[in-house]
Structure 1
Amino acid sequence: MEATRRHVVVVGAGIAGLAAAWHLRHEAPGLRVTVLEGAPRIGGKLRVSQVAGVPVDEGAEAMLARRPEGKELARAAGAADELVHPAPVGASVYSRGALRPMPKGQVMGVPTDLTELVRSGVLSPAGLARVPFDQILPATLITSDVSVAAYIRARMGGEVLDRLVEPLLGGVYAGRAEMLSLDATMPAVATAARTERSLLQAARAIAEKAPKDAGPVFTTLKGGMGSLPERVAAASGAEVRTGVMVRELSRTPGGWRLVTGPTRDPETIEADAVILAVPAPAAARLLSGEVPKAAAELSRVEYASMAIITLAYPRTAFPEQPSGSGYLVPPVEGRAVKAVTYSGVKWPHLAEADPGVLVLRCSIGRLGEEAVLQRGDDELVALAMAEMAEVAGARGLPLDSRVTRWGGALPQYEVGHLDRVARVRAAVAVQPGLAVCGAAYDGVGIPACVASARSAATAVLSHLRDEGGGEWREDRRAAGAR
């Protein structure tokens, strides 16, 4: 069979699926790639819409700038000139009833500088007194994966865990440190924990290894991260079909068969290879027939739901303009809002869009707190407004508001997650021309999803090249010559 007739189907048009399609077409321009998305739009958790006339992200508003995959994809999709960085302002923690600066010198909440920790005021005197014991306590032996809570509490006590590590992890996973994997969510700390007796010394070593001139931690696009999926889809040259739900996946003598559409009027699609870029529950359903071991593992991945309430206030509503990028709220504070981002302060381009408007985003919902998300949109807006009135001193009503609900949005990397992912990939690898990617595996951020998509595309192309006797490389050189 000629290379130009080979067909790969990517199931899922979130950023992972679209990145997989782009990598497939970039490496093999003659390849036919079809992306199937069950929702009426592409982009998954990346979406942008206007609030008070200002385009604001509804999902992730930024990506790590110090990890290259996301930026590389944005540049490849023609968005190099759109990349912008946040203002150099600090963040805070709402701790012990007040906003306090995030301590300088910390690694995912683990302090590296005790003087700065004291200066921040985040911990109580008793909590501060517990931290130095880390340097004299016997080593905490770790021979297998443990929860973040178990290790951090053993080394530095409950307050470092509750008031620094927990809110930072909650901002990423909307999860609980008691359940989250140390190896999967804090890999650098986990590695150091196996070689260093003191967590404080380990965190300092990690901080010292970090490049001093690495630049800003985050970046976004002027049009919002939600503008990236359409750019990637267009750049890939793949056929993207929305509103097409894949119901079945099965092996055929020549590859794979996908069944889509309603049961009364099904459509069958044949493919030489398939990449599943969907959340774990959907992947488990599709793999249940052909790869039951992988399906069983994926069915055990928990997901957390959350909501983002975006408010646009006149800047005159604040007696004092917020000076930082926002703040995190530890669960021990017992507040509904878990994080606030002053988007109009953090991102200068949003302030430039309308200097008289301050846009901010309030995040609500953690694993186990689904009850608050059962409230209506008006009630969630009221919760966010009350938070802003109490903490930031906002007066009056916002000019506009928006509630975005992300049900089952964030996979939980529980203890043993890395081993689970390894078992899934081992089971899938046995099936020729099949791969998986997305947030359920190697990281929930955009660069991590793009990296997993590239790995999946590479695996599929390797299979097709092995079957095609090297014709893929010839195909790419020919395309380049043209």
Structure 2
Amino acid sequence: MSRITVIGGGISGLAAAFRLVGDHEVTVLEADDRLGGCLQSTTLGGAVPVGLDTGAEASLFRRPETKDLAAELGLTTEFPSTAHSSRVLSGGELHAIPKRTIMGVPGDPAEVRGLLGTEASERIAHEVLTAPIDGEDTSVGEFLADRLGADLVDTLVDPLLAGVYAGRCRDLSLAATVPALLPAAREGTSVLDLVTELLAARDAQTASGGASGQNSDAKPQPVFMSLVGGINRLIPALEERILAAGGSIRLSARATSVRVDAGTWTVEAGDLSLESDAVVIATPAHVTRDLIAELAPRSAATLASVPYASTALVPALIDLSTGPLDGSGFLVAPTEEAFIKASTFVSNKWPWVGERIPPGTALIRMSIGRFGDSPDVGQNFDDAELIDRAFRDWQRITGRSGDRIRAAEVQRWDRALPQYLPGHGGLVTAIDEETAGIPGLELVGSAYDGVGIPACLGRAEAVSRRLLRT
């Protein structure tokens, strides 16, 4: 049985530890006094009986990693309500988000005419075919603006991507964020034709799924999933299974150095010194950079170039003054003058939440800040000021001036979301090539193959399989 040290107790580190602990002696080191990384919850000081996510609030269901792990851990999957949908703030008004798009890009321009207007939808219909891109990647925002116009990008594509990355689509990589559209960029072919094909394939998959289940009234597969108590419930479930299998978890143990000598790895964390046969580093890029600076200098320099967004989240239980909320929340287009960039109506979106809060109330989340914002956005206010500014903005956008906060708090996320700039995939390939030459060293986390939970789990599981083979 080998000894393995996992540095970082977020979802990636815990998933790797969970896969390895049955066959190895595993120790997890977490710098914070809690596990979970960006998966965290609150009860708003006891105002709500079940935990509310204050980090990621859902996971993709169409990918297998999270739903398979939840099933393995004995957790029951929950889905968003089909009675509510999200909207986008544009021109000072809330509009329904068109459903038949690929990350906001329609196959039929008529799909977005109600949101964008006739002129902008006509611009989309007259797609400008640009030459194939020079290289393997490009900016998703710039590519789509050149092809289909800035109105579509600023009003729909940007806020949708911002909801995932807390970034700006003109900064983000097409290959890393919307790879389904990459063939049109590389080949110089029509984006509209490609989206039409992708939507048709999605429809056929839905119909096929219905047929295989002997159900002629096939319904679309849910896009997202969560758990009762929030998607953060993955963390205590993984912790319990790791400890039950004989693993060790050390909190408030910040790793300060990692070195290897004759195949034996030594990790220093305060007064703790651990020797092991392999090390899995599951920390943000800027932390990993410092730990591997001497082991893999090229990779460390590459990781130093990965920027991060800082954000804040205000979850709140509110008393409703004029009937229930409408919809599951809203996104804010970057062209709008607004303090918050998005809001989720949690108790509308997730039925299990609505069933557990007092009548006449609602649970909401308000998001502040994204990559590229000036430092004073959200960071120069104390918690009370941040809550007040966010909720006043929320009242203005929703037109619900009579609603009142019953309980609220602030969760600040400093350098939490990596930004996948054009060429990100090549950077990750270079990192993996260098570290592959260092036996016993593995890197996982959101800085590499995707910021979502399934992508983090996928990389952690791949790393675990590799270590199990060796």
TM-score, with length taken from structure 2: 0.92
**Residue correspondence of structure 1 range 154-303 to structure 2 within 5 A:** 154-195=146-187, 197-210=189-202, 211-212=205-206, 213-236=219-242, 237=245, 238-261=247-270, 266-303=271-308
1:267 Cα deviation (Å)? Answer: 2.6
Which residue does the alignment assign to 1:363? Answer: 367
Which residue does the alignment assign to 2:212? Answer: none
What CA deviation, in whole Å up to 9, does each residue of 1:375-396 have, x standing for no partner?
2111211122112321223314
Question: Structure 1 residue aligned with 2:9, among 1, 10, 13?
Answer: 13
Contact kept, 8 Å, 1:196 with 1:202, in 2: the verdict is no
Deviates more, 1:194-203 or 1:7-16: 194-203
Which residue does the alignment assign to 2:214? Answer: none
Which residue does the alignment assign to 1:349? Answer: 352
1:214 Cα deviation (Å)? Answer: 4.9
Question: Structure 2 residue aligned with 1:133, among 126, 149, 153?
Answer: 126
Partner Cα separation in structure 2 for residue 138 and residue 115 of structure 1: 19
**Residue correspondence of structure 1 range 32-71 to structure 2 within 5 A:** 32-51=25-44, 52-54=47-49, 55-71=51-67
- Aligned to 2:362, the other structure's residue is in SS state strand
Which residue does the alignment assign to 2:23? Answer: 30
Which residue does the alignment assign to 1:90? Answer: 85
Question: Structure 2 residue aligned with 1:389, among 395, 419, 425?
Answer: 395
1:11 Cα deviation (Å)? Answer: 0.5
Change (3 A) 1:115 1:128: closer
Which residue does the alignment assign to 1:474? Answer: none
1:332 paired with 2:330, answer no
**Residue correspondence of structure 1 range 418-429 to structure 2 within 5 A:** 418-429=425-436
What CA deviation, in whole Å up to 9, does each residue of 1:291-342 have, x standing for no partner?
1111111011000010111121123x2x242221111101111211111100
- Aligned to 1:295, the other structure's residue is in SS state helix
Which residue does the alignment assign to 1:472? Answer: none
Partner Cα separation in structure 2 for residue 196 and residue 178 of structure 1: 19
Contact kept, 8 Å, 2:131 with 2:188, in 1: the verdict is no
Residue segments in structure 2 that go unaligned for 5+ positions in a row: 207-218
Residue segments in structure 1 that go unaligned for 5+ positions in a row: 464-482
Change (3 A) 1:214 1:20: farther
Deviates more, 1:446-455 or 1:389-398: 389-398
Report % sequence identity. 37
1:430 paired with 2:431, answer no
Question: Structure 2 residue aligned with 1:305, among 304, 310, 325?
Answer: 310
Contact kept, 8 Å, 1:74 with 1:232, in 2: the verdict is no
Residue 362 of structure 1 aligns to which amino acid in structure 2?
A: M
- Aligned to 1:246, the other structure's residue is in SS state coil
Residue 37 of structure 1 aligns to which amino acid in structure 2?
A: E
Partner Cα separation in structure 1 for residue 102 and residue 57 of structure 2: 22
Partner Cα separation in structure 1 for residue 118 and residue 108 of structure 2: 16
Partner Cα separation in structure 2 for residue 150 and residue 396 of structure 1: 40
1:151 paired with 2:143, answer yes
Partner Cα separation in structure 2 for residue 396 and residue 200 of structure 1: 42
Change (3 A) 1:37 1:255: same
Residue 239 of structure 1 aligns to which amino acid in structure 2?
A: S
- Aligned to 2:116, the other structure's residue is in SS state coil
Residue 33 of structure 1 aligns to which amino acid in structure 2?
A: V
Partner Cα separation in structure 1 for residue 468 and residue 436 of structure 2: 13
Residue 65 of structure 2 aligns to which amino acid in structure 1?
A: E
- Aligned to 1:44, the other structure's residue is in SS state coil
Partner Cα separation in structure 1 for residue 377 and residue 130 of structure 2: 40
1:397 Cα deviation (Å)? Answer: 2.3
Partner Cα separation in structure 1 for residue 131 and residue 341 of structure 2: 31
Residue 46 of structure 1 aligns to which amino acid in structure 2?
A: L
What CA deviation, in whole Å up to 9, does each residue of 1:1-32 have, x standing for no partner?
xxx3x10111000000000011113xxx2310
Question: Structure 1 residue aligned with 2:113, among 104, 115, 118?
Answer: 118
1:193 Cα deviation (Å)? Answer: 3.2
TM-score, with length taken from structure 1: 0.89
1:115 Cα deviation (Å)? Answer: 2.1
Partner Cα separation in structure 2 for residue 138 and residue 442 of structure 1: 29
Partner Cα separation in structure 2 for residue 65 and residue 138 of structure 1: 34
Contact kept, 8 Å, 1:140 with 1:151, in 2: the verdict is no
Q: CA RMSD in A?
A: 1.4
Which residue does the alignment assign to 1:476? Answer: none
What CA deviation, in whole Å up to 9, does each residue of 1:254-287 have, x standing for no partner?
32111110xxxx3321010011111001111000
Contact kept, 8 Å, 1:140 with 1:154, in 2: the verdict is no
1:117 Cα deviation (Å)? Answer: 1.0
- Aligned to 2:62, the other structure's residue is in SS state coil
How many residue pairs were aligned?
444
Structure with more helix by fraction: 1
Partner Cα separation in structure 2 for residue 97 and residue 392 of structure 1: 10
Contact kept, 8 Å, 2:132 with 2:187, in 1: the verdict is no
1:404 paired with 2:404, answer no
Change (3 A) 1:352 1:138: closer
